[in-house]
Homo-oligomer: A and B are copies of this chain.
């Protein structure tokens, strides 16, 4: 699978994405080969919660020609050379003016920084400090930015793999950064390949929702339309971000303490990685900031390897193919499939009819004559499960509390499910 991930990476990498525009659409189009998103286009100027969908940005070409006639920064060489959402501009500018439009990082002299100006109308170029140092720094420079800002739309996609339960498990990532690897493509690629694998399964217990949207504004647009639905149906969610580097997988809890979501996801990951790093919730990072805003307060965790704040290559041209490894993304997929296994296998049940004991006899859940089996441990376990499957107790909690055998409990749950006495909820 990792070669396939790499092939998709190589196709997505060169595209100049932004939070709107044709680069974004082209990226969705490629990913749709793996995950058939239902795409939404939200028009420019639509209000989404506190925000407004900006004009759509597209760029044809952008470069600077130095006084000697050399093209010194050209978006054709690296998408990061242009400040994302730069307004169109063509003209001759003196160095003293040009320098106000140049961005570089002295502390990381080989890196082209990633700079955006979605809501303030500006233009600018980004370059490495080493390149900057070697400029002539005088004379006239020709600037060409053939970009457009027009009434258009913002694109996001989602898809629901329907399971037996209306309760949903959500995976979400973001698409908007041009030519960045860990803090962009690791998430969508994990999401898309996870979908491809999961969609091969049949008879899922839960419904699985996959969301891909431009970070922040896209998530807000999504929640503006679907936030109430998620409040009603979301059992557990996970934002995928910066999960392509060589660090171990780590999880950040959702905002609300002691949710089923926090417990299930952490337990499922610990089954695979006994020394799993678990971070407390904090309202920084990626789209968990939106999902866990106080009004929605959804049970959404965040999965990453190196947090954005923990690697220097973040938001620069050094967050590239060398920085990541495709084994990590493959591990993400296989690991999340196991998390899904655990969620599918170890869940919250509730009685289909919680009033009184169900008639086990008519469902052949008693031995037809009760001399020996009537009061066996098995019958007790069955009665215990029928009593405590009330939507408030996860099975693993019951196993722990009553010191039960997981294997036997699972056999019993199967029987009760088959008998339609309990249901996943």
Contact = CB atoms under 8 A, between A and B. Distances in A.
Interface of A: 48-52, 83, 103, 105, 113, 115-120, 122, 124, 216, 219-220, 223-224, 227, 255, 282-284, 289-290, 292-296, 308-309, 315, 350-351, 353-359, 361-362, 368-371, 374-375, 380, 383-384, 386-390
Given A118-B361, A370-B115, A255 B387 contact: yes
A60 B297 CA distance: 67
A401 to B, nearest CB: 11
Contacts of A374: 315
Contacts of A120: 361, 368
The 7 closest A-B pairs by CB, nearest first: A295-B354, A283-B387, A295-B355, A294-B390, A49-B356, A294-B354, A50-B358
Given A371-B113, A371-B115, A359 B255 contact: no
A358 B294 CA distance: 11
Given A119-B362, A282-B384, A103 B369 contact: yes
A357 B117 contact: no
A389 B294 contact: yes
A283 B386 contact: yes
Contacts of A315: 374
A50 B383 contact: no
A383 B289 contact: yes
A384 B293 contact: no
B119 A223 contact: no
Nearest to A375: B309
14 contacts: A50-B353, A115-B369, A117-B368, A117-B369, A120-B368, A216-B357, A219-B356, A293-B387, A294-B354, A294-B389, A295-B354, A295-B355, A296-B355, A296-B356
Contacts of A124: 369
Given A351-B294, A389-B294, A357 B223 contact: no
A357 to B, nearest CB: 5
B351 A284 contact: no
Contacts of A389: 294
A353 B49 contact: yes
Contact of A383 (B227, B283, B355, B357): B283
A255 B49 CA distance: 39
Contacts of A115: 369-371
A221 to B, nearest CB: 10
Contact of A388 (B294, B308, B370): B294
Contacts of A49: 353, 355-356
A50 to B, nearest CB: 4
Nearest to A392: B294
Given A117-B369, A284-B375, A294-B390, 14 more contacts: A50-B355, A124-B369, A216-B357, A223-B355, A223-B356, A227-B356, A255-B387, A284-B380, A284-B384, A293-B351, A294-B387, A294-B388, A296-B355, A296-B356
Contact of A356 (B295, B309, B359, B387): B295
Nearest to A315: B374
A422 to B, nearest CB: 10
